[in-house]
Amino acid sequence: MKAGLLSGMVLLCTLSAFAEVPVQSNFDIDRFIGKWFGIGLASTSSWFQNMKDKMKMCTNVIKPMADNSLDVTRTFLTSEGCKQKNNIYTLTNEPGRFHSTSTRSGALKVVTMVETNYDDYAIVHTVKNKSTEPSIVVQLLGRTKVQSPEVIEKFISFCQQQGLTPEKIVIMPESEECTVAVV
C-alpha cells in the first residue's frame, strides 16, 4: 500500500513538474526530423555528475513513425568505440510533448520540445520518473556541431531557470562522428 501511494505521489510530482515546462508552439514534427548533434547537456542525475567529464558530442537521428511518434537513434563515442541507443518518443495529446520509456531502467520519461527554429538548434527537456526522485535532463541539439554564443546562452539560461546550477551544465567537446555502432 505504501509503495503504491509513494509511486502515485512520484508520478504526480513528475506530471506537475513537466506541466510547468514550456512547449514549442505549433511544434512541427516534419521540420524536426533529421540529424542533430548533441551540443549541450545538463542534468540532476548522479550518473551525469560522474560521467560529464568523459562525455563527448553525440549524433541523434530522428525519424518519423506512422503514428506521429519519433524513432530517436543516438550514436556516441566511448572508450570502447561507438555505441548506439534507440528510443521511441510517443506523441501525447499536446504537440511537442512525448512519452518514452528508459531502455535501461524502464522508467517513464516525459520529453518536451521547449524551443527550436528547426534549422539551427533545439532545446529539449526530459523528466525521468525513476525510483523516488525524478531527474531532469536538458539537451541543446544543433544541426551543426557549432552553435552561436546566443544559442549557448539561451540554453544555459533555460537550464538555470529549471534549477540546474553551472556545475550541472556541460557544453560537449566535439568528437568524431560515429558511423558504426558496437552494441
- Kindly list the catalytic residues: 58
Q: With left for phi above 0 and alpha for psi between -120 and 50, is residue 49 left, alpha or beta? A: alpha
Question: Taking the alpha carbons of 95, 168, 181, 134 in that order, is the dihedral positive or negative?
Answer: negative
List, in sequence order, the alpha helices (H) in 61-179: 149-161
d(Cα 90, Cα 69) in Å, to the nearest integer?
A: 4
d(Cα 57, Cα 73) in Å, to the nearest integer?
A: 14
